[in-house]
Structure 1
Amino acid sequence: MSAAALLICALLLDALLGEPRWLWDRAPHPAVLMGRLVAALDRRVNAGTHRRAKGALCAFLLCLTGVVSGWLLQHLGPFAEILIAAILLAHRSLTEHVAQVARGLRRSLPEGRRAVALIVSRDTAAMDQSQISRSAVESAAENLSDGVIAPAIWFLVAGLPGLITYKLINTADSMIGYRTPRHEAFGWAAARLDDVLNLIPARLTALLIAVPAGVADARGIRADAAKHRSPNAGWPEAAMSRALGIALAGPRAYDGEMRDYPFVNPTGRKLLTSVDIEASIAMLWRAWALFVAFCTVIVAVQFLGDP
Structure 2
Amino acid sequence: MGREFNFIQHNQINKEKWNALVDRADNALIFCYSWYLDSFCKWDAVVLGDYDGAIALPISKKMGFSKLFQPNFIQKNIWFGTELDPSDLLKLWTMISRRSTLVHFNTNLRLNLNASSRVNLTLHLTDAQTVKLGYSKSLVKNINKHKPSLTIKESKNPLTAIELYKNAYGLLNPQLNNLDYDKLLALYERRPTNFLCIEVTGEGQVLAGLVFAKGKRRLHYILGAPNSKGRKANAISVAIDYIIETYANQSYILDFEGSSIPSVKMFYESFGAQNEPFYQIETSPKWMTLLQLFYNKLLKS
Structure with higher strand content: 2
Larger radius of gyration: 2
> Same fold by TM (over 0.5)?
no
- Tell me which protein shows more helix as a share of its residues: 1
Q: Normalization by structure 1: what TM-score?
A: 0.29
Q: TM-score, normalised by structure 2?
A: 0.29
